[in-house]
Amino acid sequence: MPADRPLTGREATLAIARIAVTRAPRSWALWVVLALASLPVAYARLILGSGPPGAGLWRDVFSFGLRLLWVVPTTMVAGAIGDELTDRHRSYLWSRPLPRWSILTGKLLASAPLAFAVLAGGLAAAFALARSPALEDPGLVLARSLGAIALGVIAVGAVATAMATLQPRFATALAIGYMGFVDFPLGEMPAALRQLSIQYQVRQVAAVDQYPGSTVTALIALAVITAVAAAVALARVRRFE
């Protein structure tokens, strides 16, 4: 059954994604993040236990859930890509006739939607508990929140991919560290530096930040952060030996 021709980038991306999807339910990472995704529900229950839902409850729960951006996409993306860039996996993958970038895009294609589904599931369940009767259009609030999370997952996925190409063996730790110790403090800064924070921009898109800003600016900022991280990852993977 000889190989007819090398795979195109699109074919290779889909083949890598298919393998990643087959492997995902058999690895520990998915079960850990599924457990973590239930935390917003637990948090909402905890707050509801102390009184009726107020107008700001969803903002609190969403902000809490946003912390999962530190862990869920980073674990799923950085871990998966970092693995493929270790000597062991690279020996098998890179001796195949594939465009190298397809390994990154294939992994992202499989893990980013999965990370979003996990986070969205947890937040939607928490929303069902925590939504206040005072909310005018709950459907729109939830849709905006989940849209913001989707963009956040893409941006964090790109950053995690870049981290994985910089240091494959410690990719997950590095990506979580970045989100917790760089991105989070940046987002809390009052100065213009917070524009560089993914978490700040996601709050803006979701319209839950206590100091509302421009959604368009937030969208552009997320696009720029994603593009820069993706450029770093692609440049690194091209030079990787």
At residue 170, what is the residue type? Answer: F
Which residues between 51 and 90 bind other proteins (CB under 8 A)?
83-84, 87-90
Q: Does the footprint of other proteins cover residue 191 (CB under 8 A)?
A: no
Residues in the interface with other proteins (CB under 8 A) total 32
From 21, 23, 47, 180, residue interacting with other proteins (rule: CB under 8 A): 23
Q: CB 6 → other proteins: shortest distance, Å?
A: 4
State how far the Cα of 129 lies from the Cα of 110, in Å rounded to an integer: 30
Q: 198 in helix, strand or coil?
A: helix
Q: Does the footprint of other proteins cover residue 34 (CB under 8 A)?
A: no
At residue 93, what is the residue type? Answer: L
Q: Does the footprint of other proteins cover residue 211 (CB under 8 A)?
A: no
Q: Does the footprint of other proteins cover residue 236 (CB under 8 A)?
A: no
Using alpha carbons only, give the angle 38, 44, 45 rounded to the nearest 5 degrees.
Answer: 90
State how far the Cα of 90 lies from the Cα of 171, in Å rounded to an integer: 15
From 69, 98, 150, 208, residue interacting with other proteins (rule: CB under 8 A): 98
The answer to whether 58 and 132 are in contact (CB under 8 A) is: yes
Q: 195 in helix, strand or coil?
A: helix
Taking the least distance from each CB to other proteins, the nearer of 106 and 187 is 106
Would you tell me which residues interact with other proteins (CB under 8 A)?
Answer: 1-7, 12, 15-16, 18-19, 22-23, 26-27, 83-84, 87-99, 241
